[in-house]
Amino acid sequence: MTETSRTTHRLSLDKAVEYLLDECRIVLPGIQVLFGFQLATVFTTRFADDLGPGEQRLHLLAIALVAVAIALIMTPAAYHRQAEPGQVSEGFVRVSTRLLLASLPPLAVAICLDFYLVARLVLGAGWVAWLAGGLLLVFIGLWFVLPRIRRRRDRRDS
């Protein structure tokens, strides 16, 4: 074994559920704050005066995507309380993990759409769409590509 290799072990079902729900609890407040700011923005004069109807619709789409992400992240708790009260199962961990991962694409797109709108207001340039696209690539790289690279490397090394 090399110095950079690491020892892994399988989590108990109870620990896996605990970690999963903790991850949801950590992510949710930030998304809720974002959602609140998105809603408040609609009531500012700058929103009405400086964004055209198409851009206002983009913001509405971003709000809808964040709402979907919130629903996906909150579903494991609701599911657990109703479908498996008082117990945990590997099926719950599997479904909940999928729900948490499914929340990431709509969240990333929503953040990038709102970033585009803010950058357009601040910089007033058409090329800000490229900045938003670059930000989306950062999310894809960090949230999806990096974990898959690590998983492949771990499988190859074991």
pTM as predicted:
0.86
Alpha carbon 137 to its chain's center: 14
Inside any domain, residue 115: yes
What is the tens place of the pLDDT at every residue in 98-147? 999 999 999 999 999 999 999 999 998 889 999 999 999 999 999 999 99
100 and 24 Cβ atoms separated by less than 8 Å: yes
Categorize the per-residue pLDDT at 158 as very low, low, confident or very high, splitting at 50, 70 and 90: confident
Higher-scoring residue by pLDDT: 1, 12: 12
Residue 57 lies in a domain: yes
Residue the block writes with tokens 């670059």: 134
Residues 13 and 144: their CA atoms lie apart, in Å, by 24
Residue 69: closest CA among 130, 149, 139: 139
Q: Dump pLDDT digits (tens) for 36-76.
A: 999 999 998 888 899 999 999 999 999 999 999 999 999 99
Which domain, by its residues, includes 151? 13-157
- Confidence at 7, pLDDT banded by 50, 70, 90: low
Residue 37 counted as domain residue: yes
The token pair at 150 is: 């690590």
Number of domains composing the chain: 1
Residue 150 lies in a domain: yes
Q: Are 38 and 66 in contact (CB under 8 A)?
A: yes
Copy the structure tokens of residue 8.
Answer: 């892994």
In a domain, 39, yes or no: yes
| Domain contains 3 | no
Rounded Cα–Cα distance for residues 84 and 156 (Å): 36
5 lies in some domain: no
Are the C-beta atoms of residues 105 and 65 closer than 8 Å to each other? no
